[in-house]
Homo-oligomer: A and B are copies of this chain.
Amino acid sequence: MRDNGDGGQAVTLKDLAVELGIHPSTVSRVLHSSSEIAKGAASAATAERVRELARKRGYSPDPQAMGLRTRRTRLLGVIVPRLSDLVLATMYEGIEESAAELGVSTFVMNSLDDPGEQRRKIDIMLARRVDGLIIGDVHLGSSLLQELTARKVPFVLMNRRAAGYPSATCDDVLGGELVADHLWEKGHRKVSVIAGEPYASTAIDRTAGFVARWRSLGGDIADSNVVWSRFDTAGGREAAEKILMNCQPTALFAVNDFAAIGAMGALRSHGLTVGRDVAVVGFNDTSLAAELPIPLSSVRSPMLDIGRTAVQLFQRVLHGERVEAVALKPALCVRESSAQERP
B-binding residues in A (CB < 8 A): 1-3, 7-8, 10, 60, 62-65, 67-68, 73, 82-84, 86, 89-90, 92-93, 96, 100, 105-110, 119, 122-124, 127-129, 144, 147-148, 150-152, 232-234, 237, 261-262, 264-265, 268, 287-288, 291-294
Q: Residue on B with the closest CB to A67?
A: B64
Contact among B68, B107, B150 with A107 in the assembled complex (CB-CB below 8 Å): B107
CA distance A122 to B3 in the complex (A): 12
- Using A62-B129, A151-B3, A288-B261 as known contacts, say yes or no to A84 and B73 having CB atoms under 8 A apart: no
Contacts of A268 in B (CB 8 A): 293
Contact A129–B93 (Cβ < 8 Å): no
Given A83-B83, A89-B84, A127-B63, residue A291 in contact with residue B233 (CB < 8 A): yes
Residue of B nearest to A9 (CB): B71
Copies in the assembly, this chain: 2
Q: Known contacts A265-B291, A291-B262; is A83 also within 8 Å of B92 by CB?
A: yes
Known: A7-B151, A68-B68, A100-B124. 19 other contacts (CB 8 A): A1-B119, A2-B123, A3-B151, A60-B127, A63-B127, A64-B68, A64-B73, A83-B92, A83-B93, A84-B89, A86-B86, A100-B109, A108-B108, A261-B292, A265-B292, A265-B293, A288-B288, A292-B293, A293-B293
Q: Using known A-B contacts A63-B127, A124-B105, determine if residue A84 contacts B82 with beta carbons closer than 8 Å.
A: no
Distance in angstroms between the alpha carbons of A62 and B65 in the assembled complex: 12
Q: How far is the CA of A326 from the CA of B284 in the complex (A)?
A: 38
Decide yes or no: A1 and B237 within 8 Å by CB, A83-B83, A107-B105 being known contacts. no
Give chain B residues whose Cβ lies under 8 Å from the Cβ of A108: 96, 108
Interchain CB contact (< 8 A) of A84 among B86, B148, B292: B86
- Interface core residue of A65, A105, A237 (most chain B CB under 10 Å): A105
A10 contacts across to B, CB distance below 8 A: 129
Q: Is the CB of B294 within 8 A of A293?
A: yes
CB–CB A150/B86 < 8 A: no
Sample of 25 A–B contacts (CB below 8 Å): A1-B122, A1-B123, A1-B144, A3-B151, A62-B68, A62-B129, A63-B127, A63-B128, A63-B129, A64-B68, A65-B68, A83-B92, A84-B89, A84-B90, A89-B89, A93-B110, A96-B108, A96-B110, A105-B107, A107-B107, A232-B287, A237-B291, A265-B291, A265-B293, A292-B293
